[in-house]
C-alpha cells in the first residue's frame, strides 16, 4: 500500500480510522493483535492493538489518549500515543 502524506488537520481535531482496505484481527494462537493489509500482516506488539482498536473515526487523538489514560493509569500514553498514531497515518494505515 502506498504511503500517503499526513493530512493538515491538527492532531486535536483528527479522528483516526483504519484505512478501508485494512483490518484489525486478534490471533489467539500467538496471543497478539494483527493489522491485516492487502498483501501482508503486521504483528502489533504491546498495547498497540488496543490503541488501533480505538481508531474507529469517532474519537479524536486527545479522546483516545484520555481513554487509554483511564485504562492504564501511570502509562506514558500522552507522550507516546500521538506519535504512534501519526506514524501509522504516515504509513497510510490510518485516515
pLDDT at 12: 80
68 vs 65: CA distance, rounded Å: 5
Q: Under DSSP, is residue 44 helix (H, G, I), strand (E, B) or coil?
A: strand
35 vs 28: CA distance, rounded Å: 14
Instruction: Give me 85's grid cell.
Output: 498514531
5 vs 59: CA distance, rounded Å: 21
Number of other CB atoms surrounding residue 35 within 10 Å:
20
pLDDT at 4: 44
The more confident residue out of 8 and 63 is: 63
Residue written as grid cell 493530512:
7
- pLDDT of residue 3 exceeding 80, the answer is no
Question: pLDDT tens digits, residue range 27-79?
Answer: 999 999 999 999 999 999 999 999 999 999 999 999 999 999 999 999 999 99
Amino acid at each position: 500500500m502506498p504511503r500517503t502524506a499526513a493530512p493538515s488537520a491538527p492532531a486535536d481535531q483528527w479522528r483516526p480510522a483504519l484505512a478501508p482496505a485494512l483490518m484489525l484481527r486478534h490471533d489467539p494462537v500467538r496471543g497478539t493483535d494483527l493489522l491485516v493489509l492487502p498483501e501482508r500482516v503486521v504483528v502489533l506488539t504491546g498495547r498497540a492493538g488496543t490503541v488501533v482498536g480505538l481508531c474507529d473515526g469517532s474519537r479524536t487523538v486527545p479522546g483516545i489518549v484520555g481513554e487509554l489514560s483511564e485504562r492504564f493509569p501511570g502509562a506514558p500514553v500522552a507522550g507516546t500515543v500521538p506519535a504512534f498514531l501519526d506514524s501509522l497515518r504516515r504509513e497510510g494505515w490510518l485516515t
